[in-house]
Chain A
Amino acid sequence: SQQGEEDPQALSIQEGENATMNCSYKTSINNLQWYRQNSGRGLVHLILIRSNEREKHSGRLRVTLDTSKKSSSLLITASRAADTASYFCATDEHIEETSGSRLTFGEGTQLTVNP
């Protein structure tokens, strides 16, 4: 099962523009993470925001979290062609059958930045 859902599924913009991707999830979380995946490669961790945080910045990345709406957004400012990749949000989902938790990924947003 995938807890997170990204929106939009695909986004195409021009270099220099800002890109905004959204993620919604279903259950309560400890934190939410964003990952990036270039074609044919593994995922790379970008940023983690805790459930008691509302906004976090890292370089050209800005992440917001609204726990009341169970949603997060990732903003990439001044985009570059090298930002072209798939972006996934991930949340810790409680698993009843094991009484543990696991990291659950959304379906991702495919971002294309045109030079």
Chain B
Amino acid sequence: GAGVSQSPRYKVAKRGQDVALRCDPISGHVSLFWYQQALGQGPEFLTYFQNEAQLDKSGLPSDRFFAERPEGSVSTLKIQRTQQEDSAVYLCASSLGYRVDQPQHFGDGTRLSIL
């Protein structure tokens, strides 16, 4: 596709439910990043993939958060037993190269609301 695509755009879930957020990066992009953005704040790093390898997951806030990119393209961020503090916009970004400090291309995010 022309850009990074994320689905769904909006997700409402009840506290305790599991959710799965999908990211389709730009074709051929090696690096893929997940960020969490609270209202009025900048994006906060969650995790980073280089192809199918998850090289950095130190930003995941708890073991309820899990991300995968099994074939090195599409990625899924899963949140188990959701809590109200998980409400945020989840952004996915991809970049062509291997360095984390290269320009990143962002999707429009998934706005997650936990009731």
User: Which A residues contact B (CB, under 8 angstroms)?
Assistant: 2, 4, 30-31, 33, 35, 40-45, 48, 88, 90, 92, 95, 97-98, 100-108
Contacts and interface: CB of A to CB of B under 8 A. Distances in A.
Contacts of B4: 42
B62 interface: no
Contacts of B58: 95, 97-98
B45 A104 contact: yes
Contact of B43 (A30, A45, A97, A105): A105
Interface of A is mostly: strand
Interface of B: 4, 33, 35, 40-45, 48, 55-56, 58-59, 91, 93, 100-101, 103-109
Contacts of A104: 45
A45 B42 contact: no
Given A98-B56, A104-B45, A42 B100 contact: no
Contacts of B108: 40-42
B56 A102 contact: yes
A92 B104 CA distance: 12
A96 to B, nearest CB: 10
22 contacts: A2-B44, A4-B42, A30-B101, A33-B101, A33-B103, A35-B106, A41-B109, A42-B91, A43-B104, A43-B106, A45-B104, A88-B43, A95-B56, A98-B56, A100-B55, A102-B100, A105-B35, A105-B44, A107-B40, A108-B40, A108-B41, A108-B42
